[in-house]
Structure 1
Amino acid sequence: MSAGEALGTVSAVTVGRVLLIGASVGLAAVGIRVSRRDTGPVGRPFLVLLGLLSTTALCLGVTAGAGTANKMIWLGTNLAIPAALLAVSCRYYGITFVDSRPRLAGVVAPLVAGGLGGGLIILGTTAQTSGTAAPVGALAGFPPLVYDVATRLTRFGRYYTASLVVVAVGIVAVNAGRYEHLDARLAVALAFGGGWPWLGNFVVPELGAAFGPDAAIGALAGGYVTSLAVAGLAIGPLGLFDSSPAAGNIGPNHALDSMDDTVIITNNEGTVLRLNAVACDRFETTPQASVGQKLSTVVGHSPSALSGETPVTIETADGARQFAVTRSAVTDNRDIDRGTVYVLRDVTKKQNREQRLEVLNRVLRHNLRNDATSIIGRAQLISDGDGGADSAEEIIDTTRDLVGVAESARDIDQMMAATQADKEVELDPIVQRVTETIGSSYPAVEVTTAVPADTTVAASKQVIETILRELLENAAEHNDADQPYAIVSAERTGNGSVTLAVSDNGPGVPDHERAVLDAGEDQLQHGSGLGLWAVHWGVTRLGGKLAISENTPRGTTVTVTLPTTSASESTPAVPEQAES
């Protein structure tokens, strides 16, 4: 080689190194500018990307691509740059699949493995050095198996970074096509800014081997100078921080989670694919635990059971609730069904309010009509001189019944309007107060209690008192036994709930009264009063359950199960036919 040719080679390499150092300084300047701006969530990963590009360019400019330090820096930045590009793409377009720590760890772990393997090859072997000894002699003594594993990890790291670049560029390409108002040049700029160093890692060594160091340095200099120009355009005219379409991708997720209704999406086989935050709270689950499960496993009902027009009763974290279900088919652009969206709107309060109005209306209308007719008839007899004291007594009794119905209606209204402000209330004082009142009103009935002193429930005192009073009064008033009695007991179950039971030795709850609770307001004409309805609505108010069982040889036990936490309003508590 002549002196002129050598000088030309040196000059070409020198120019390339100067350009690389200049690109490094320029990229650092762009990074400083970015750090001083309000760049939102995109700014930090973009700043990291700029820092990695600047560091790599500076290292190449100073070392001309030679030396152990250069190899190590080159290894680290070329593993990290694809990850930074992926972070920029995800943040810019609102892709959140790497936002959780476990997923982020899953993305980073292969990079760390590749870095460890590549570092061991660089420092412990002569594979990437021009000398005859390993840069770190202490590492050279490792057995061949260790270096075999290191080689595989290094190769895996390269393939993995390739996949990161493909995913990142794919996100850019897909979203560039989706949002046509964005400048397509920005998508190209993002893809080049992070993709070029990774591509250069494969291309530049081949250029150097084929055409010499001047070609390699020239390609590197050209690439990083172009990266500088692209970065400047991205934060300037192309508006990287001014036109982020992230809301278009995040918005649907936010809208889904901000809905008050329960939303569950399944495929055509009824497997849950997605559910919103309300659904997770309702059914005490998480997306990780529910996705992939059958709909019936998550909500306790099959898809066919959620297809009717009438509200469906579903057990939730707040007790039994009633939901109006709306089903919508999920179709693709060829109108092929891909799944179903279930929207469950809680209509418990509405259903209960309508039921109460209907029940109160029918009971009051029924009792007023019958009792008024009776009063008029008895009064007519007295007027005609045929009634006497018996007719007057009948009028008094009938009027008292009417007043009792009106007072029951008032008590129910107050009970349903009671707040759930009480947190933990003791049962025993309430039980003692109610039993004393019933005992004085029905002295012939022996009323006993078996309530542990420390038994507490999360509920309203007024609601519990109304439930207990109605149950005890029903047990005492209709008890025709020779030695009538009523027992109030309570205990805490294994799951933390509390059962409150009222047992008697009376004739039992008539079938027509049970039919009232079983069938609802359509069977109201069979009911004679508001007592069991008050119990029914009170248990509903607390989100509990009601069970009626027969005693042996006679009598009834009514058991109220109260949840561990207070519920605002639940669905009607349908009595369960428990075994005696």
Structure 2
Amino acid sequence: MFETRHDETTVQLLVSGEQDQSAIRDLLLSEYDVVVDDEIQPASCYLIEDRLLPKYGSQLLARKQAEHPTFCPVVVIKRQDSSFSLGGTQQVWQREQAVVDDIVAAPINEQVLNYRLENLCIRRVQSRKLTSQYEQIEARYERLFESAEEAIVVVDVESNEIAECNRAACELFGYSKFELQRLNPSSVIQFEDGCEFTEFTEHLSQQDAGVTKTLICTTQWGQSVHAEASAAAIEHAEQQSVLLLIRDISERVRRQKQIRVLNRVLRHNIRNSINVVNGYGELIYESTADDEVSAFAEKVVDRSKELLDLSEKSRTVSNALQAGDELQSLDVVAVLDRIRAALSDEYPHARIELTAPESAQVFGNSYLQTALYELCENAIVHSTQDAPLVDISVTEAQSAVTVRIEDRGTGISEQELAMLEGEETALRHGSGLGLWMVNSVVDGIGGELDISTDSTRGSVVTVSLPQPAE
């Protein structure tokens, strides 16, 4: 039977005996709508006699689960001779304890009962508000998820299954959402570095920071798509998962490949042409008796050699800028020792002095040696001394290692320095490719390059390199 009031808070009373039902209902009617029925009905709160818990426990648990995340309170009326308690260890009550949120003892004190029910109902109202806010946030997330231009794939770490994917992911792979969720992720996503998919997700799930990796996506039609994925560990549907935000970079890869081929062809053709010019210049120089013609031929030969050197330096710069080497710990003192030995062989007239500790670890890649070699060689080549002197020193600070290279040359021209600032124009044809390469390499590993130059005293180049964490 139902007692109806215009109150959104409804209590279902599950008590045996009409006399007890009537007495408790009378206590509640001033504040709540009361439902008395032998079957579980929709209600804001359930007030149940402890002896009826075995009968209704499973139904109440199902009701609480159906209401989740909204709080659905269950209060037990504990008889004087009952052994039931929320913190008890009795085997007979363990299942029922999971259902119950509070206890009132019989005989019931009206003030205590109303106080308990009021607190529980306030918790329910608060949980409904939070649930509403959560649902609004979830709805916004769903809209963003589906409308994102990038493909998004969520993979369950434990099952290694695609738990969720958006419209863009379906378009990228060529499958419906239903089809994609039934595929093994590794059948459509392969990492370019050869990392196994399960190994990647398990490792990432234990990390706080996300990662970015290049990969190959295999479509339904067997097409391989170059892509870049930003991945991070998340919790999805209460499961540890990995979210991948996948961007199609096929066009970028295609352009880079075309540029590499074009650069290779141009360098090859230009080098061959310059070699021809150089060869004919030398023939003219050697075969002519005319001093003026000989002087012109010598200039042709010198200029062609400069162009050949520039072509070679361009290749080195191109390789350095395209290098994808991971940073690693390097002993910069050992690197400088190798550079000094190589330059001493190539320029035996030069004096290269190195002041450094036994070792100094820095972050670097395979092109750090190329960059430092370029700086040291420049110090020799641009010196005005018959026996060029180059001073190299290494000092360690708290978080960085400083390499200082000092020469006694003519300084670095403004045109070459302008290339470091990106100010090169068609009217200022600076040839500072090497310096530009050095700056790119140093910047790429998180270091800093500083140059102090004077046409009368020479140049001081300071390279600050980050140290690995201890």
Letter in 2 for 1:520: E
C-alpha distance in 1, partners of 2:419/2:136? Answer: 57
How far apart, CA to CA, are the structure 2 residues paired with 1:434 and 1:536?
18
**Is 1:473 matched up with 2:362?**
no
User: Residues 441, 382 of structure 1: CA spacing in aligned structure 2 closer, same or farther, 3 A cutoff?
Assistant: closer
- State how far apart, in whole Å, the 2-side matches of 1:399 and 1:421 are: 37
Residue type matched to 1:467 in 2?
A
Paired amino acid for 1:93: S
CA contact (8 A) 1:515 1:523 kept: no
2:239: which partner in 1? none
Alignment partner of 2:73 out of 22, 33, 50: 50
Aligned equivalents of 2:460 and 2:35: distance in 1? 92
Q: Which of 328, 346, 351 does residue 441 from structure 1 map onto? A: 346
Q: Does the 8 A contact of 2:357 with 2:394 survive in 1?
A: yes
2:307 to 402, 416, 436: 402
Give the aligned partner of residue 507 of structure 1: 410
| RMSD of aligned residue pairs (Cα, Å) | 4.9
Deviations 1:395-440 (A, max 9, x none): 6544443332222122222222333334211111110001111122
Indicate conservation of the 8 Å contact 1:382/1:391, yes or no: no
1:283-310, CA deviations, whole angstroms, 9 ceiling, x for partnerless residues?
Answer: xxxxxxxxxxxxxxxxxxxxxxxxxxxx
CA contact (8 A) 1:408 1:531 kept: yes
Q: Is the 8 A contact 1:448 1:487 kept in 2?
A: yes
Partner residue, 1:424? 329
Question: Which of residues 132, 149, 161 is equivalent to 1:93?
Answer: 132
Q: What is the identity, as a one-letter code, of the residue corresponding to 2:104?
A: C
Q: Is the 8 A contact 1:472 1:486 kept in 2?
A: yes
- Residues 31 and 9 of structure 1: is their aligned pair in 2 closer, same or farther, counting only changes over 3 Å? closer
Closer/same/farther in 2, CA of residues 405 and 488 from structure 1, 3 Å limit: same
Q: Deviations over 1:149-181 (max 9, x none)?
A: xxxxxxxxxxxxxxxxxxxxxxxxxxxxxxxxx
What CA distance in whole angstroms lies between the structure 1 residues aligned with 2:345 and 2:324? 29
- Aligned partners of 2:281 and 2:298 also within 8 Å: no
Number of the residue aligned with 1:386: 290
**1:33 and 2:62 matched:** yes
Q: Is the Cα contact below 8 Å between 1:20 and 1:58 reproduced in 2?
A: no
Identify if the C-alpha distance between structure 1 residues 28 and 455 changes in structure 2 by more than 3 Å, giving closer, same or farther: same
Q: How does 1:41-120 map to 2 (within 5 A)?
A: 43=68, 45-46=69-70, 48-51=71-74, 59=104, 62-66=106-110, 71=112, 74-75=114-115, 78-90=118-130, 92-95=131-134
CA contact (8 A) 1:438 1:473 kept: yes
Task: Give yes or no for the alignment of 1:541 onto 2:444.
Answer: yes
% same residue:
20
Distance 1:557 1:259 in 2: 48
**SS state at 2:384 partner:** coil
| 1:74–1:377 CA distance, 2 compared to 1 (3 A) | same
Query: In 2, Cα distance between the equivalents of 1:376 and 1:542?
Result: 44
SS in 2 for 1:410: helix
Name the stretch that deviates more: 428-437 or 75-84.
75-84
Counterparts of 1:56 and 1:531, CA distance in 2: 74
Instruction: Provide the rounded CA distance (Å) in 1 between the counterparts of 2:446 and 2:427.
Output: 23
- Conservation of the 8 A alpha-carbon contact between 2:281 and 2:297: no
Q: Write the distance in 1 (CA, Å) between the matches of 2:343 and 2:74.
A: 81
CA contact (8 A) 1:21 1:58 kept: no
8 Å CA contact 2:271–2:311 kept in 1: the answer is: no
Distance (Å, rounded) in 2 between the aligned partners of 1:369 and 1:518: 32
Aligned to 1:248: 139
Distance 1:403 1:498, change over 3 A: same
Partner in structure 2 of residue 559 of structure 1 = 462
Letter in 2 for 1:59: V
- Cα distance in 1, alignment partners of residues 273 and 294 from structure 2: 23
Give 1:472 deviation, angstroms.
Answer: 0.7
2:390: which partner in 1? 486
Contact 2:320 2:367 in 1 (8 A): yes
By how many angstroms is 1:502 displaced?
1.2
- The within-5 A match list for 1:249-288 is 249-251=140-142
Structure 1 partner of 2:356: 451
1:396, 1:28 → 2: CA distance? Answer: 99
Q: In 2, are the aligned partners of 1:423 and 1:458 still within 8 Å (CA)?
A: yes
Cα gap change, 1:19 to 1:518, in 2 (>3 Å) = closer
The structure with the greater share of residues assigned to helix is 1
Are the equivalent residues in 1 in contact too, given 2:406–2:459 (CA < 8 A)? yes
Decide whether aligned partners of structure 1 residues 58 and 407 sit closer, same or farther in structure 2, where only a CA change above 3 A counts: same
> In the comparison of the two structures, how many residue pairs are matched?
303
Contact (CA 8 Å) 2:450, 2:462: kept in 1 or not?
Answer: yes
Taking the aligned partners of 1:454 and 1:255, their CA distance within structure 2 comes to 54
Contact 2:394 2:401 in 1 (8 A): yes
SS of the aligned residue for 2:72 comes to helix
Question: Residues 252, 427 of structure 1: CA spacing in aligned structure 2 closer, same or farther, 3 A cutoff?
Answer: farther
Structure 1 gaps, min length 5: 1-7, 96-243, 261-348, 567-580
